[in-house]
Amino acid sequence: MTGPSKPSDRASIRRTNLGLVLRLLRDSGPRSRARIAADTGLPRPTITNLIAELVELGLVEEGESERDGSVGRPGLSVAIDGRSICGVGLEINVDYLAAVALTLRGDVVFERRIAVDVRAAGAEAVLDAAAALIREADAAVAAQGARIVGAALAAPGNVDITTGTVAFASNIDWRDIPALDALRARLGRDAPPLRLENDAKLGAVAEYLVASASDIHDLIYVTGETGVGGGIITGGQLMRGARGFAGEIGHMPLAPGPDGHPCACGRRGCWETMVGLGALLRHAADADDPVHDPSLDVESRLADLRSRADAGDERTLAALARVAEDLSVGLALLVDVLNPRAVVLGGYFAVFAEYLLGPVREGVARRVMAADSGGCEVLPSTLGFTAPARGGAFLALDAVYQDPSGVAARP
Amino acid sequence: MTGPSKPSDRASIRRTNLGLVLRLLRDSGPRSRARIAADTGLPRPTITNLIAELVELGLVEEGESERDGSVGRPGLSVAIDGRSICGVGLEINVDYLAAVALTLRGDVVFERRIAVDVRAAGAEAVLDAAAALIREADAAVAAQGARIVGAALAAPGNVDITTGTVAFASNIDWRDIPALDALRARLGRDAPPLRLENDAKLGAVAEYLVASASDIHDLIYVTGETGVGGGIITGGQLMRGARGFAGEIGHMPLAPGPDGHPCACGRRGCWETMVGLGALLRHAADADDPVHDPSLDVESRLADLRSRADAGDERTLAALARVAEDLSVGLALLVDVLNPRAVVLGGYFAVFAEYLLGPVREGVARRVMAADSGGCEVLPSTLGFTAPARGGAFLALDAVYQDPSGVAARP
């Protein structure tokens, strides 16, 4: 603990308190100055000064008056404004790039997805396209009189967030790609502050923003794609682990031995061979069925399978039942270890939520050691495949919530 | 977020800063006022005032002068004193009660262990004995001119920390025992503030205090006894989960199917049937071997097995090798999910560390997906069976680190 010395404790306390008030308004909604004073424990005059500064920074606005249920003069309600402040999230997935720009209060002001065969295109071309997407987002945001205060890249693999390098992403065949330096070189002086994070972790962050409205602050996000990714939120914080690898849940050895299906990692019976997209397809259709054809868009193949399930096709329904059972084995293990308040199922699991949720909930409840699944609910993602890009936009905005005064400092 | 309104932000900031300085001295060791100012970012005059208050509360003292490597007048070094402030940890295990009193700076001033067949004795008699141990600790601490500011009970099972109730502890056959109320009734007006926690979680806290000296802030504590317990520290914080059940690692289904050994939970192939004490004994000795005799003290049975291993007995060594392999399967899974900086092996694993560590480290490194085990070391517990009681004493003292001024408020 040898942090840099700060200019003065007064300035540091002011920054801390600005962030405290702004996060209160984000997490608990609009409220009067009197209520903010009560919620934060700070005196009224201090709150008045802080709100004035946040208004000047363009981060909060005064809304309709409210009575707070008390006698006396009604107080003006204060809410997050931040229409002029945006963060951008950019996801690199196997077959697309997606960008989302969010205002400080969570409104989507730009959203775009382009089809790219990322593995075939190669890293240089993909980073060209990514830089072009950020420029496009910047122009769209500027056209609405707002500005971007940061951007975060979501990558499907192990990342080194300190150097901005994608260390290893097997599904797109990237290894040691200095992604942030490459983007900075392409964007030049226009580059906003850039960050990098694993896609499932950012998906977890995005789902947490939804779940926190229901007072859920401990959750596991589990996304079913070719691989199975995970992100863990504990006490409202993203768990990264000692080197940022936390959440590697796809290779839990849940069907070891000769009967286990071979995994891309070289072992047998990893959880993702039981519940990844490949497992569903394997159970649901013969090898020559078009749902296996990798040249077709994955969402259309999922839609095809979904229609079969909706039509009552027995093999498809049996495949989903099998996946649900295997999903509940791994989820119950994770719920025992982490005791989350919720598990959120994303990726293809969300597409088939109607078929998976019931048996998964039953299987988890049957297996978890604590009564009532330890209080854990199994929920479908409501964000679908946009979760990582949204999480990236939030990560980019998070710096504002940590230090609102930093907004003024940037050009 | 509707915390109680606080008297004033000045008092609240003072409390926060007192705790900040005290925790810095605990975590980073003695240092000069100038260094404390640099480390905390607070100005020198503020530090001078805070140190004066901490000295007056009996929590810090001035030691030898140090030069800080800079020119000018050497500063007096400031260190945690706190010889007059003690916390007590009291562990209820299957066949003993143990108590430890620690001073604020971590010195043991009282330690006692009594043999009790906890299941046979029944909860009332055990709580009588526990209350007597707390009184004995209190007298011993008072005889040294110090006082107890809190005590924490470590119980082997699921606990409700808000009501102070042991919800379910199968190994001692307790269910819904209001342990803290029972202790308060026995101790009367002499009762210090009491807290309750799961024993493996408190073991993790105690091991974290040791590990944090090596700058390790993310660890998993895994203790091998009849069951296998776990405690998780993430970012320096004990992970409790939504209802306090986090760390339930003994029932991971790692040998499912008909070949799995039956578990006390009713299923087959749970991890604790593979690596719990029962598994070692099963592999190492026939059913009529005295090491299986539950009427003998478990530590003497472990010492017996240990001598066999030391003498090169092949069956014992093969049993340890088998446990090491199965241990590494579950540990690698946990390391993938949590990416800790260290795994600390306690309970009987520590007794056999010499035999287990090498193959466990090799097995974990072979299985973890991230290179170099994601930076995770496998370490033996240095605290052995005293870890939970020590963790309890630390939990009791933690209130002082959170709000040092609270020390003065108590009679």
Per-residue pLDDT tens for B10-24? 777 888 889 999 989
Sign (positive or negative) of CA dihedral A134, A138, A140, A141: positive
Region A357-369 average pLDDT: 97
Tell me the pLDDT band of A83, cut-offs 50, 70 and 90: confident
User: What are the chain A neighbours of B46 within 8 Å (beta carbons)?
Assistant: 9
User: What are the chain A neighbours of B6 within 8 Å (beta carbons)?
Assistant: 41
Among A158, A339, A369, select the one facing B265 at the smallest CB separation: A369
Name the minimum distance, in Å, from the CA of A252 to any CA of chain B: 6
Tell me the pLDDT band of A227, cut-offs 50, 70 and 90: confident
Half-sphere exposure of B221 (CA within 13 A, CB side): 36
Which residue of A lies nearest to B169 if distances are taken between CA atoms?
A370
Q: Do B254 and A249 touch (CB under 8 A)?
A: no
pLDDT digit string, tens, across residues A110-120:
999 888 889 89
CB of B318 within 8 Å of a chain A CB? The answer is: no
Among B5, B43, B336, select the one facing A9 at the smallest CB separation: B43
Tell me the pLDDT band of A3, cut-offs 50, 70 and 90: very low
B111, pLDDT greater than 70: yes
Which residue of B lies nearest to A229 if distances are taken between CA atoms?
B337
Alpha-carbon gap, residue A208 to A334, rounded angstroms: 17
User: What are the chain A neighbours of B344 within 8 Å (beta carbons)?
Assistant: none
A406, pLDDT greater than 70: yes
Q: Do B38 and A234 touch (CB under 8 A)?
A: no
Q: Specify the pLDDT at position B3.
A: 37
A1, pLDDT greater than 50: no
DSSP state of A383: S
B4, pLDDT greater than 80: no
Map out the domains of chain A with their CATH numbers.
9-80 (1.10.10.10), 86-192+388-409 (3.30.420.40), 213-380 (3.30.420.40)
DSSP state of B73: S
Among B37, B249, B338, select the one facing A241 at the smallest CB separation: B338
B17 vs A342, higher pLDDT = A342
- A356, A69 contact by CB (below 8 A): no
Region A361-387 average pLDDT: 93
Q: Do A243 and B38 touch (CB under 8 A)?
A: no
Name the minimum distance, in Å, from the CA of A111 to any CA of chain B: 32
Between CA A364 and CA A372, with CA A370 as vertex, the angle to 5 degrees is: 60
Neighbours of A293 (CB within 10 A): 10
Of A151, A333, A133, whose CA–CA distance to B334 is shortest? Answer: A333
pLDDT digit string, tens, across residues B257-289:
888 999 988 889 999 999 999 999 999 999 999
Question: Helix, strand or coil for residue A334?
Answer: helix
Which residue of A lies nearest to B16 if distances are taken between CA atoms?
A13
Region B333-337 average pLDDT: 98
Q: Specify the pLDDT at position B377.
A: 97
User: What are the chain A neighbours of B367 within 8 Å (beta carbons)?
Assistant: 253
Q: Which of residues 181-220 of B touch A (CB under 8 A)?
A: 218
Tell me the pLDDT band of B158, cut-offs 50, 70 and 90: confident
Tell me the pLDDT band of A410, cut-offs 50, 70 and 90: very low
Pairing of strands B96-103, A165-169: unpaired
To the nearest 10 degrees (0 to 180), the angle between helices A277-284 and A314-338 is 150
Q: What rounded mean pLDDT belongs to chain B?
A: 90
Residues in chain A: 411
Distance of CA A88 to the CA centre of its chain: 13
B312, pLDDT greater than 90: yes
- A125, A100 contact by CB (below 8 A): no
- Joined tokens for residue A82: 């931040």
CB under 8 Å to B24, separation ≥6 — which residues? A1, B31, B36, B39, B40
Among B43, B237, B246, select the one facing A338 at the smallest CB separation: B246
Of B77, B48, B75, B78, whose CA–CA distance to B60 is shortest? Answer: B78
Q: Which of residues 331-350 of A touch B (CB under 8 A)?
A: 333-334, 336-341
List the single range of A300-304, A383-387, B4-8, B101-105 with lowest mean pLDDT: B4-8
Question: Helix, strand or coil for residue B307?
Answer: helix
Which residue of A lies nearest to B265 if distances are taken between CA atoms?
A369
Q: Specify the pLDDT at position A27.
A: 79
Q: Specify the pLDDT at position A196.
A: 97
Region B364-373 average pLDDT: 94
Name the minimum distance, in Å, from the CA of B103 to any CA of chain A: 23
- B171, B226 contact by CB (below 8 A): yes
Burial (CB count <10 Å: 0-12, 13-18, 19+), residue A398: middle
Percent residues over pLDDT 70 in chain B: 94
Q: Do A242 and B9 touch (CB under 8 A)?
A: no
Alpha-carbon gap, residue B159 to B151, rounded angstroms: 16
Q: What rounded mean pLDDT belongs to chain A?
A: 90
Q: Which of residues 14-43 of B touch A (CB under 8 A)?
A: 24, 27-28, 37-43
User: What are the chain B neighbours of A13 within 8 Å (beta carbons)?
Assistant: 13
Q: Specify the pLDDT at position B73.
A: 56
DSSP state of B283: H
Region A189-214 average pLDDT: 92
Residues in chain B: 411
To the nearest 10 degrees (0 to 180), the angle between helices B277-284 and B298-310 is 50
Tell me the pLDDT band of B90, cut-offs 50, 70 and 90: very high
A66, pLDDT greater than 70: no
Region A28-56 average pLDDT: 90
CB of B317 within 8 Å of a chain A CB? The answer is: no
Region B181-203 average pLDDT: 94
Q: Do A253 and B333 touch (CB under 8 A)?
A: yes
**Cα-based distances in Å from A93 to A90, A122, A297, A389, B327:** 10, 13, 13, 10, 35
Of A259, A251, A253, A258, whose CA–CA distance to A276 is shortest? Answer: A251
A303, pLDDT greater than 50: yes
List the single range of A228-232, B9-13, B394-398 with lowest mean pLDDT: B9-13
CB under 8 Å to A363, separation ≥6 — which residues? A324, A325, A327, A328, A329, A331, A332
- B301, B291 contact by CB (below 8 A): yes
Q: Specify the pLDDT at position B65.
A: 62
B298, pLDDT greater than 60: yes
A71 vs A138, higher pLDDT = A138
Best to test chain B binding among A12, A208, A271, A337 (most B CBs inside 10 Å): A337
Q: Specify the pLDDT at position B7.
A: 43
Sheet containing A194-198: give its strands across: A108-115, A96-103, A85-92, A147-155, A194-198
Among B1, B242, B333, select the one facing A375 at the smallest CB separation: B242
**Residue where the block lists tokens 């973890």:** B368
Sheet containing B96-103: give its strands across: B108-115, B96-103, B85-92, B147-155, B194-198
B8, pLDDT greater than 70: no
- B60, B78 contact by CB (below 8 A): yes
pLDDT digit string, tens, across residues A237-276:
899 998 899 999 999 999 988 889 999 888 899 999 999 9
B180 vs B213, higher pLDDT = B180
pLDDT digit string, tens, across residues B208-221:
988 988 899 999 99
**Cα-based distances in Å from B235 to A67, A236, B215, B344:** 41, 13, 11, 16
Q: Specify the pLDDT at position B5.
A: 38
Tell me the pLDDT band of B405, cut-offs 50, 70 and 90: confident
Region B167-187 average pLDDT: 92
